[in-house]
Amino acid sequence: MATAPTLGGTTLPSPSGYRERVGYRGGFTEMADGTLAVDLVNTNAKREFTVTWKGLNDTQKGTVETAFATVKSASATFLSPTNVSYTVTRSPDQSEIEWEALKQNSTTLRWNTTMTLREA
């Protein structure tokens, strides 16, 4: 990963995984003759970003939650690990951050999560 990603001005921990999907928003319907009718909302491609973290400590967990709060009801700027800036919102499928706790030792937990953002 080339650049430390940021969301809403918060520098995120270094991700263990990063994925970009490029697509077009709109509706697709198969007609009776088998042709595909396409009605695009916008002819420009839009991106979806999935950022994954594994083994975060409690402080890093809090940083991810702070950054996620910047897109709770509005858009924010996302600087991707590829050093490109996008205006994003939460994915419609991500209303919350889900954490998976892993025990590092008898007293310390580490945290895994995934955040999905969508280009506005």
The answer to whether the Cα torsion of 59, 64, 69, 74 is positive or negative is positive
Give strand pairing partners of 103: 109
Q: What is the pLDDT of residues 16-39, one digit of tens each?
A: 999 999 999 888 899 999 998 888
Percent of the chain, pLDDT > 70?
Answer: 98
- Mean pLDDT check: name the lowest of 17-21, 88-92, 101-105: 101-105
pLDDT bin (cut points 50, 70, 90) of residue 1 is very low
Model pTM score: 0.87
Rounded to the nearest integer, the mean pLDDT of the chain is 94
